[in-house]
Amino acid sequence: MFSKVLIANRGEIALRIVCACRELGIRTSVAHSQPDGDSLAVRLADEAVCIGPASSEQSYLNVAAIVTAAAMVGADAVHPGYGFLSESAVLADACQAAGVVFIGPPPHVLRLLGDKARARRVMQAAGLPVVPGTDSFDTPEEGTRLAETLGFPLLIKATAGGGGRGLRVARTARDLEHSLGAARREAAAAFGDPRLYLERYVDEPRHIEFQILADETRALHLGDRECTLQRRHQKLLEEAPAVGLSEETRHRLGGLVVKAALAVGYRNAGTFEFLVDRGGAPFFIEANARIQVEHPVTEMVTGVDLVKEQIRVAAGEGVSFQQTDVRVTGHAIECRVNAEQAETGRPSPGVIRAFVAPGGPGVRVDTYAHAGCMVWPHYDALVAKVVAHGRDRGEAIARMRRALDMFVIEGIETTMPLHRRVLREPDFLAGRFTTSFLERFIT
């Protein structure tokens, strides 16, 4: 097992990794930007090292700074969390060259899955149903030409993307012309890669994903998640298990994602994402080669600590259980509490004056926040993840309502008022929603 892990991330996921390492008896060092020097992860880790100024490009996206930091503190492994360089083959290669273990898939898998267009072709060959789409392209002119072949409506997506970054809907050629430049700029800023690809737009789908774990000898899945409630392609509320999936489809896709993971030599944690159309047909859209923001709902219903499993696999110990050991018990819901105006989604950075997290049976809060801390405008707006687990979906919803009513955050605006409204909406309670639900619900 590792003696020290460098955490190359920030916010709640950095603290989450500190917790997992502490339980495994591993020392931690947090690589942080200058504004994050007083963060909770920095306070609670064994040590910390500043890797640059506020700009992500000069800190959390700086491969040389991260590898240098690992050498400075004597870390034998780097955990990249999610976002930033979590799916970077360049960082994985640099770690390997420096004799440091990258806690994630091997570089060749990151290269394959990091090119989302190429990954679609490979997954189709492995037997997964795939939405029609194009190869990656570098220029708007090439994108326009490919769109003529694919047809409208379509999605513009970042080749190196995830988390909704660089994602645009184009229903006409005019939409495409206006959106390609903006998508390229957003993709370059978020991932350091401006390349895009196009995908046929599936109207009114549900967004379903499967959690996998794999080591040197085997792969297994830990069930599915419902990630349909989104605003501008950013997930706001997730559930496990998925509400809109038949048992036959659940069983079939679970087997297929394990087969696909084995086919590409996958290792560590990952997620296979699908759109399910109104007829119930699933289509693979991408694989995320990292831990997901919404991993706690899977942990709550399976009892598996996914971050500790990531670390065990990277250390060569392998996954600590078998597929037959996986049991999904009850239902879990996660609400992402963002520093945003509830109705408009506009960012609301600032100092948190008061912060009181909820507790009680079945409630978990993953956060970096505390009274007096600053929510910086430079980074993602996520402040906390509230997770509620119950014997069934109804109890999970009731516990989430109670938790949100108890949660006190003052000094910034948050998405909690929106979550409270959704949790009392009849269509949500009945499971009748698609990815456009929040847009219609808010207006």
**pLDDT tens digit sequence for 389-401:** 999 999 999 999 9
Is residue 121 assigned to a domain?
A: no
Using one digit for the tens of pLDDT, what is the confidence trace for 251-272? 999 999 999 999 999 999 999 9
Q: Does residue 236 contact residue 335 with C-beta atoms inside 8 Å? A: yes
Is residue 380 assigned to a domain?
A: yes
> Which CATH number fits the domain that encloses residue 68?
3.40.50.20
Q: 163 pLDDT exceeds 70?
A: no
Q: Of 200, 228, 252, which residue sits at a domain end?
A: 200
Q: How many domains does the chain have?
A: 3
By percentage, how much of the chain surpasses pLDDT 90? 79
In degrees rounded to 5, what are phi and psi of residue 387? -120, 130
- Got the DSSP string for 209-233? EEEEEE-SS-EEEEEEEEEEEEETT
C-alpha 117/C-alpha 161 separation (Å) is 11
Residue 404's pLDDT band, with cuts at 50, 70 and 90, is very high
Using one digit for the tens of pLDDT, what is the confidence trace for 213-253? 999 999 999 999 999 999 988 999 999 999 979 899 999 99
Active-site annotation, residues: 290
350 shares its domain with 240 = yes
Q: Of 83, 103, 123, which residue sits at a domain end?
A: 103
Q: Does residue 337 contact residue 406 with C-beta atoms inside 8 Å? A: no
Instruction: Identify the helix (H) or strand (E) that includes residue 301.
Output: helix 295-302
pTM of the model: 0.90
C-alpha 105/C-alpha 112 separation (Å) is 11
228 shares its domain with 193 = no
Q: Higher confidence at residue 165 or residue 158?
A: 158
Instruction: Identify the helix (H) or strand (E) that includes residue 79.
Output: strand 77-79
Q: 321 pLDDT exceeds 60?
A: yes
Is residue 251 assigned to a domain?
A: yes
Using one digit for the tens of pLDDT, what is the confidence trace for 60-101? 999 999 999 999 999 999 999 999 999 999 999 999 999 999
92 shares its domain with 171 = no
346 shares its domain with 393 = yes
Is residue 108 assigned to a domain?
A: no
Exposed e or buried b per residue across 317-335, where buried means at least 16 C-beta atoms within 10 angstroms of its C-beta = ebbeeeeeebebebbbbbb
Q: Does residue 47 contact residue 29 with C-beta atoms inside 8 Å? A: yes
279 shares its domain with 422 = yes
358 shares its domain with 414 = yes
Q: Determine how many CB atoms are found less than 10 A away from the CB of residue 149.
A: 8
Reported as half-sphere exposure (CB side, CA atoms, 13 A), residue 328 has a value of: 18
265 shares its domain with 409 = yes
Lowest average pLDDT, out of 7-11, 152-156, 296-300, goes to 152-156
370 shares its domain with 335 = yes
Is residue 383 assigned to a domain?
A: yes
Q: Of 103, 118, 153, which residue sits at a domain end?
A: 103
357 shares its domain with 384 = yes
> Which CATH number fits the domain that encloses residue 409?
3.30.470.20
437 shares its domain with 397 = yes
pLDDT of residue 164: 72
212 shares its domain with 194 = no
pLDDT of residue 360: 97
Using one digit for the tens of pLDDT, what is the confidence trace for 132-150? 888 889 888 999 999 988 9
Residue 203's pLDDT band, with cuts at 50, 70 and 90, is confident
Q: Which domain holds residue 335?
A: 206-442
Q: What is the mean pLDDT of the chain?
A: 94
> Which CATH number fits the domain that encloses residue 196?
3.30.1490.20
Paired tokens of 65: 């700074």
Q: Does residue 17 contact residue 79 with C-beta atoms inside 8 Å? A: yes
Q: 383 pLDDT exceeds 60?
A: yes
Tell me, rounded to whole angstroms, the distance of Cα 391 from its chain centroid. 25
Q: 439 pLDDT exceeds 90?
A: no
Is residue 110 assigned to a domain?
A: no
Is residue 109 assigned to a domain?
A: no
142 shares its domain with 223 = no
Q: 443 pLDDT exceeds 60?
A: no
Is residue 117 assigned to a domain?
A: no
Q: Higher confidence at residue 411 or residue 344?
A: 411
Residue 306, C-beta contacts closer than 8 angstroms, at least 6 positions apart: 211, 213, 222, 269, 291, 295, 298, 299
Lowest average pLDDT, out of 107-116, 403-412, 421-430, goes to 107-116
